[in-house]
Amino acid sequence: MKTLVLVGSGEFTDAMLKVDKFLIKLVKHIKGRSKINIAIIPTASVPDGRQINWINDGVKHFKKLEINPFGLNIVNRQDANKKVNLRKLKTASIIYFSGGHPGYLLEIFKHTQAWKLIETLYNNGVMLVGTSAGAMILGNYLLGNAQETFNKEEKPLWIKGFNLVPFAIFPHYDWAKRHKPKLLVKLIESAPRKISANWLGIDENTAVIISDGKKTKIMGKGSVTMQRGNETLKYNTGQKFLI
């Protein structure tokens, strides 16, 4: 079974403990094994120089859950093709992209050996998790300069993502609605039709768990808004739906 997890925010914090415990239990059930290795990839935070902080936070968080976490400090495309990193990836039961700058993250991984391997592992049953920027790259399109757009109101840069789901992903959706409502509406309305008509808005501390690309379950503290064509739907924690 393929399992993709898109998280609005909150990685490696107590707010996501219940979700992470569920994900670990799910992997143990699917894989039929007790030893779980989780690869933490903090590449999206490299422009801020915080990738080691994210690794340390992730390792500390998941050790509390009695599994084996390890960081992959992939900071450039060369790192994404290194055999040592590919060997480590092959040991993972869960691969976890944390947040930061989505355009940078995508640029580092596209057309690399690491992404080819990650996609193969995901298709063969390794759980793939992305939070914030890490979730955005997994959609069909993404706002490459999301931080600059919301913080400095730069012109939005829409680029193709890895297309594991047929939606653009908006993390921190409840935050954007509270603090930047006019900008959020303008951003969506000005996007090309293929983007503005198909997107998922994921609230902070909220996860969308997608099984085999269709069956979807919501967990966490918020909700998920789905735009599909002219229809807008909202799903709360505990609800299930098909995409």
CA atoms of 102 and 132, how far apart (whole Å): 8
Helix extents (H) in 51-132: 51-63, 83-89, 102-109, 113-123
Enter the DSSP assignment of 13. Answer: S
What is the number of structural domains in the chain?
A: 1
Place of tokens 């993709």: 4
pLDDT band at 67 (very low <50, low <70, confident <90, very high): very high
Range of the domain at 35: 3-242
pLDDT, position 33: 67
- Give pLDDT tens digits for 6-58: 999 999 999 999 999 999 999 998 777 678 999 999 999 999 999 999 999 99
Closest CA to 199 of 142, 134, 121: 142
pLDDT, position 153: 84
Report CA dihedral (238, 4, 191, 41) to the nearest 10 degrees.
Answer: 120
- Give pLDDT tens digits for 144-173: 999 999 988 899 999 999 999 999 999 999
pLDDT band at 141 (very low <50, low <70, confident <90, very high): very high
At 18, which amino acid appears? Answer: K
Higher-pLDDT residue of 168 and 189 is 168
Question: Residue 181: which CATH number?
Answer: 3.40.50.880
pLDDT, position 45: 98
Closest CA to 108 of 140, 84, 134: 134
pLDDT, position 29: 86
- Give pLDDT tens digits for 72-84: 999 999 999 999 9
pLDDT band at 190 (very low <50, low <70, confident <90, very high): confident
- Give pLDDT tens digits for 76-135: 999 999 999 999 999 999 999 999 999 999 999 999 999 999 999 999 999 999 999 999
pLDDT, position 241: 87
Statement: the pTM of the whole predicted model exceeds 0.95: yes
